[in-house]
Chains A and B, each alone.
Chain A
Amino acid sequence: MNASTAVVLAEAPRRTARRLSSWPLIPLAILVAMLLIAIGADVLAPHNPEVGSLGMRFKPPVWQAGGSATYLLGTDHLGRDVLSRLLFGARVSLVVGFTAVIVAGILGVVLGITAGYMGGWVDEVIMRLTDTWLALPALTFAIFLAAVLGPSELNIIIVLSAIYWTRYARVIRGEVLSLKEREFVRLAVIAGCSRLTIMRRHILPNVLNSAIVLATLMLGVVVVTEAALSFLGVGVPPPKPAWGLMLADGKRGLMAGYWWLTVLPGLCIMFLVLAANLLGDWLRVKLDPQLRQL
């Protein structure tokens, strides 16, 4: 063994360490923790999140005067355990968030590919619709739809997907326009593939990376929108434990200074959204160099 191999050997562990540190460990940890909490909320939560005892209203967290160890993070205006509601709230946020992001993604990718590949009047119709819907302020449009459909978890997913597919459609269409001119697509045309086959087998796999990056970034947007809708009373219906709903309930104790009802659900939203944004930014650089300028 000579000197140069020794150097190489010594460098190997450092390189793996560097590779590991280039992973977005913090956002991944937050997301995995939230996922585990969402799955195991039944086991983890010390109390029923939807039923409280009215004798135990507005108890502060355990470390404040008047707090008790039974209710670690205090109770709300109906005497419900805040910790349990926060844990179950993760489930609501993640289920609504993931489903909406995926449904919107499928819609947006399909319409984006169709518009980009077919061109002509199909493109014109889809893109006019996309532009119009993009022009509407997302929150106002969401409130309108939610008010028409009525509050329920399913409806909120429908509303969010109906609004946010446009973001995917825009980006995916742009990518398809350039993919369409590439050698392998032209060869597929010459080989006699049908348009459906080309879109499915040759275009779709090439836009999936962008779709995944967008989906991760959209997760944050969707979670905040859901919280806002629930806060306004057109999202997840009470007594379900959703963070936005908890913030709305928390307003009752705001002027009395019951900070835990307002600060804690907001922090949960912030951590989830921050994690999604950080992960999305990292994925964008990692998966798709072309999207870096987006």
Chain B
Amino acid sequence: MKRFVLRRLGYALVSLTLLSITIFVFVRLTGDPALLLVEPGASKADVDAVRERFGLDQPLVVQYGKFMNGLLRGDFGQSFYYRTPVLELYLSRLPNSLLLATVAMSFSLLIGIPTGILAAVRVNSWWDRAGRIFALLGLSLPSFWIGLVLILFFSVYLGWLPSSGSGTALHVLMPAFALGWYFAASHMRLTRSSMLDVLGAEYVKLARLKGLPESRVIAKHALKNALIPVLTLAGINLIIMINVAVVVETVFAWPGIGRLLYEGIAFRDFPIVQATVLLGGSMIVFVNLLVDVLYGMIDPRIRYER
């Protein structure tokens, strides 16, 4: 177990290092990073000052060392626009993103799990086919377009919901639905296939042989086990939701991390862009590590793989 955890930890460290190298290299590949790090329209002297401050005239290895040193001390640079450390900005937006992702996750599970169960229980029936079409639509409709159409319908025509901003419970509904929609399809697919697996298992057959009514077999014996992989995926997806909400947050002017990233692009505020991508990537690496270790604890077979 200890070796397994250590190896996974090693993989995560390698991933984080590669992540930082990727970002470091891409910034420098595209020409003069000093131009990305100064405010648009800065004078020649300002550019030189930045180049010196960030040591951009030094060898690449030295630069990378300094870059990493800053990151490890939590120094992600200063936002040009807000004039505050980027990390502070990020942390101030995080609760909003978390709220949006949680509600979106509830939507996606509320839609995905029942439809998935229905499709599995009535496999190859009309329900199953309808479910498959629904899943396909979920994967084909861009979430931000769903958001725009929702605004058109519920805000402009009906006037029921606010079209943008945050503050009340009503504000969160539309962005959360738009964000959750895409994930509902993948949750439905996984619920269906996991449910099908479980329904073929011996203990479900036994439960049926005992003479339990089918509804109890499904609700009590099958569902509990079938939901384990779905909830794992939901956990990972929650973190992914926080990080891919950029477009939805932009559409609804929701003040989360995605919106921060968009502002970073729109105002050419490069430190924000860099920090958001780095922190988002690290978050996902950590979640993957966590899931791996938890699975290793539960299932010894995984521990001895490779």
Contact = CB atoms under 8 A, between A and B. Distances in A.
B152 A136 contact: no
Interface in B1-42: 11, 14-15, 18-19, 22-23, 26-27, 29-30, 36
Interface string A260-272: 0011001001100
A262 to B, nearest CB: 5
A251 B19 CA distance: 35
A88 to B, nearest CB: 19
A251 B156 CA distance: 12
Contact of B140 (A141, A250, A259, A273): A273
Contacts of B50: none
Given A148-B30, A234-B265, A278-B136, A132 B18 contact: yes
A144 B246 CA distance: 12
B12 to A, nearest CB: 10
Given A137-B244, A148-B27, A263-B152, A224 B142 contact: yes
A149 B152 contact: no
A37 interface: no
B280 interface: yes
A58 interface: no
Contact of B261 (A140, A145, A228, A277): A140
Contacts of A139: 244, 246-247
B149 A266 contact: yes
B194 interface: no
The interface residues of chain B, by DSSP majority, are classed as: helix
A273 B139 CA distance: 9
A274 interface: yes
B244 A233 contact: no
Contacts of A262: 145, 148-149, 152
A140 B277 contact: yes
B148 A148 contact: no
A163 B18 CA distance: 14
Contacts of B244: 137-140
A109 interface: no
A132 B11 CA distance: 10
B108 interface: no
A140 B280 CA distance: 8
Given A143-B261, A144-B23, A148-B27, A254 B152 contact: yes
A254 B148 contact: yes
29 contacts: A132-B19, A133-B22, A136-B284, A137-B244, A138-B244, A139-B244, A140-B243, A140-B244, A140-B246, A140-B261, A140-B280, A140-B281, A141-B277, A144-B23, A144-B26, A224-B142, A227-B142, A231-B250, A247-B148, A250-B148, A251-B251, A254-B151, A254-B156, A256-B156, A259-B152, A269-B142, A277-B136, A278-B136, A281-B136
